[in-house]
Amino acid sequence: MQLRFVGCGDAFGSGGRLNTCFHVSGRQTNFLIDCGASALPALKRLEIDRNDIDLILITHFHGDHFAGLPFFLLDAQFSRRTRPLTIAGPQGIERRLREVMEALFEHSSKTQQRFELDVVELVPGQSRTFGAVTVTPYPVVHGESGGPFLAYRVDAEGRTLAYSADTEWTETLIPLAHGVDLFIAEAYMYEKVVKNHLSLKTLEQHLPAIAAKRLVLTHMSDDVLSRLETLPHMAAEDGMVVVF
């Protein structure tokens, strides 16, 4: 299994990083986690075949995690995709997707796709299986607008991945990522505690309880990016590949 950071930046492109989008692939799996506004050109730049992607998991409805979907779907239509696609995310995703499609491309939500599109709501604590991928959503804390907010624990091909999504510290992160092969965790700030986001120092206090086998930091502001050379943890970069 491998995860490629198509984009690992925050909402403001700190450090020139693109919006959040992770590509996970293996022998039987090919899916995205989040699809931020810059996802489509980033996927094309990395020469990732969008037509091979079976599933897109959305953590929440902020533009840097969600607003790439209209571009992805229209590109699929124009490239004559025939492979079925599932988009799964928090409660309300079907309505939110329709709204963002109309906001960015008038009448696009009414276009009949040439491929089968299934939009699925995920419920915290209830696992769902999509082919070889089993997803368990956990609720996290990231404000009010743009929610519900979910983090994901994903099991596929004998490996387990967890992604914190955007969140302040919540005890939910311990069962989310406990013992996983790879934990992708937001580290928006270095030490300062800000509402709705996670600081690295806060995260570090709980790493022994989480006991993930590998940790990669993502969604970093300039506060953390300015310290990259001294960080004791792996930090994501756009295009970086992690095998787990």
Per-residue model confidence as pLDDT tens digits over 96-140: 999 999 999 999 998 888 899 999 999 999 999 999 999 999 999
Which residue has 């009448």 as its token pair?
Answer: 107
Residue 172 has a CB neighbour count (10 Å cut-off) of 17
Average pLDDT, the chain: 97
Q: Which pLDDT value is given to residue 172? A: 98
- Provide mean pLDDT across the span 143-151: 93
Tokens read off for 18: 């693109």
> For the segment 194-231, what is each residue's pLDDT rounded down to a tens digit?
999 999 999 999 999 999 999 999 999 999 999 999 99
What pLDDT sits at residue 144?
A: 86
Q: What pLDDT score was predicted for residue 112?
A: 85
**pLDDT digit string, tens, across residues 73-103:** 999 999 999 999 999 999 999 999 999 999 9
Cβ count near 239 (within 10 Å): 14
Number of neighbours of residue 219 by Cβ within 10 angstroms: 28
Show the DSSP H helices in 31-129 as ranges.
Answer: 39-45, 63-66, 69-78, 93-104
Query: Does residue 145 surpass a pLDDT of 90?
Result: no
Alpha carbon distance 107, 226 (integer Å): 43
Scanning 122-199, the segments in alpha helix (DSSP H) are 173-177
- Tell whether the model's pLDDT for residue 240 goes beyond 90: yes
Which residue has 């489509």 as its token pair?
40
Strands lying side by side in the sheet with 215-218: 128-130, 133-139, 150-156, 159-163, 182-186, 215-218, 234-235
pLDDT at 193 over 90: yes
State the residue for tokens 């995310």.
89
Angle of helix 93-104 relative to helix 69-78, nearest 10 degrees, comes to 70
State the pLDDT at residue 118. 97
Cβ neighbors of 7 (< 8 A, separation 6 or more) are: 17, 18, 19, 20, 21, 36, 38, 39, 42, 238
15: left (phi over 0), alpha (psi -120 to 50) or beta: left
* Strand-pair category, 150-156 with 159-163: antiparallel
In one-letter notation, the amino acid at residue 122 is: L
pLDDT higher than 90, residue 15: yes
Q: Give the predicted TM-score (pTM) of the model.
A: 0.97
